[in-house]
A and B are shown apart, each in its own frame.
Chain A
């Protein structure tokens, strides 16, 4: 089966899965709406100010869209970091990039930036800055003449992550102790319905990051040959790395700006997809976009229904899945003969 055909099949199957999850997410929730009520609201036949219209169209639908966007963006960022570092364990939260972005967001909020659309651009910019700072730090710490060794990379990611998490706590407790409780909850990830203007901004930024990475997918494959060999094949390795780095940081920062830090999506989704479509980044990147969206949506639907009407943070679900997954991948690597 040619690459194109395999991509088409995989994308088709994932879209179906995503659609199923979207439908499920719209019909379940702690407001206990009947399926009929939901359908009326979706068809536009419910009264504009009725509970079902507000909940379905004003709360559930935007939240579903945010989850799909965020999940897709995080999964693609994961693929990008893995291609750059040639390491399947690399992903935004493991590398501390998510924490860096979260620090950026907290800083923006301390400076008084709120949740309106205009402010959202600035918050996203701060988040991007924080993500970039973290990513560069990890890269520089882990860089050695032999390339980026697994252990060093992971350790560097842990250190950078801890550093930024501590920085967040310090900043909050010095500046505004009352907010500490709320922020700590936010740090576990928060998928909330985002107003349409902000959602459009979110989608635009995510699309930009995605496009950059997709364009670089073929060259990312070649990077696996080693930078020198890639250069000898005509790949401008330095520019490629920079481009992919920036795009991955952009995706991470954007997601964190809108949903708070959520981890492990970029680890789980690409890994599962590799079992289905193989190692080629040209197939992984688009399928990760759809698969990541489906995954995070499923996790969020679980998170908001499992202890209803209270809610769990979606980050808790992804972490519970992610931690054992991490161990599995790590052991899989070390068991293979070197």
Chain B
């Protein structure tokens, strides 16, 4: 018994010598024995990036929420983002796990570290961080050559959209993440930047941190000219769809008078991955339809 115990201790404590050290997006040093060939992604946007880069051969696992592109569903899932099954992760024998500091728990990273599985953390709040993330992921899956063109194409599309809307006056936009209670994006939310890139000005851009529980009457008083409702229903339940009736009654609001009340699919806009340009275009078409005729 004692021998077995000693053996276990030795095995757990022993770590392969680091052949490679990379720095992740939170400035942590991640030591790897060799360039990773079995990568497990706990982040939907990272999964999307890996497929967009053509590096899916090295992807051994994903989460339930990593559902784009559809081909990704063929990879085994380890559960949710908050509570992935550590056992399943271990069973897939990854040599690197990619996680984010928003959406995955720190505890998961710590647990994996104890088990000798290195974790690479990504953090993307703004477009440039997101593009940086794509480049880094390309390095991890050894598809560096694909990074350049992908990033360029995304950036190109974003710049094109910006160019289209730049000459137009930015309308006041209210983005409704959740209607009751009213929850809106604040200063640090990536949505605020997206709205700005799409040629609008979020009326809640200066509030709080990421997401703020906001007063409906203050929103009304700020007279938004466009209202965007985040549609949660893509995840399957009808309950996620916001009902426009509640907003139609607010007839003093310019957006309602002009009939500019729109829905947008949450799943595209709230993931900060390669489809960010798609999301941005959807948003821009809502905010500046005249620029896209």
Chain A residues at the B interface, C-beta cutoff of 8 Å: 29-33, 48-51, 53-55, 58-60, 109-116, 173, 175-179, 181-182, 185-186, 190, 192-193, 195, 304, 308-313
Contacts and interface: CB of A to CB of B under 8 A. Distances in A.
Nearest to B267: A178
A177 B80 contact: yes
16 contacts: A29-B217, A51-B223, A55-B220, A58-B250, A114-B243, A175-B237, A176-B240, A178-B240, A178-B266, A182-B177, A190-B180, A192-B180, A192-B216, A195-B249, A304-B215, A310-B207
Q: Which of B214, B220, B252 has the most CB of A within 10 A?
A: B252
Instruction: Give the interface SS of chain A, mostly helix, strand, loop or mixed.
Output: loop
Contacts of A116: 243, 245
A51 B221 contact: yes
Contact of A109 (B208, B236, B239): B239
A178 B251 CA distance: 30
Nearest to A106: B239
Nearest to A50: B252
Given A112-B237, A313-B181, A53 B252 contact: yes
B211 interface: yes
Contacts of B223: 51
Contacts of B241: 114
A195 B245 contact: yes
Contacts of A60: 217
Contacts of A193: 216
Interface string B74-106: 000000101000000000000000000000000
Interface size classification for chain B: 35 or more
A54 B253 contact: yes
A111 B238 CA distance: 8
B182 to A, nearest CB: 8
A195 B240 contact: no
Contact of A59 (B178, B220, B245): B220
Q: Which of A31, A55, A182, A195 has the most CB of B within 10 A?
A: A182
Contacts of A58: 249-251
Q: Which of A31, A185, A309 has the most CB of B within 10 A?
A: A309
B239 A31 contact: no
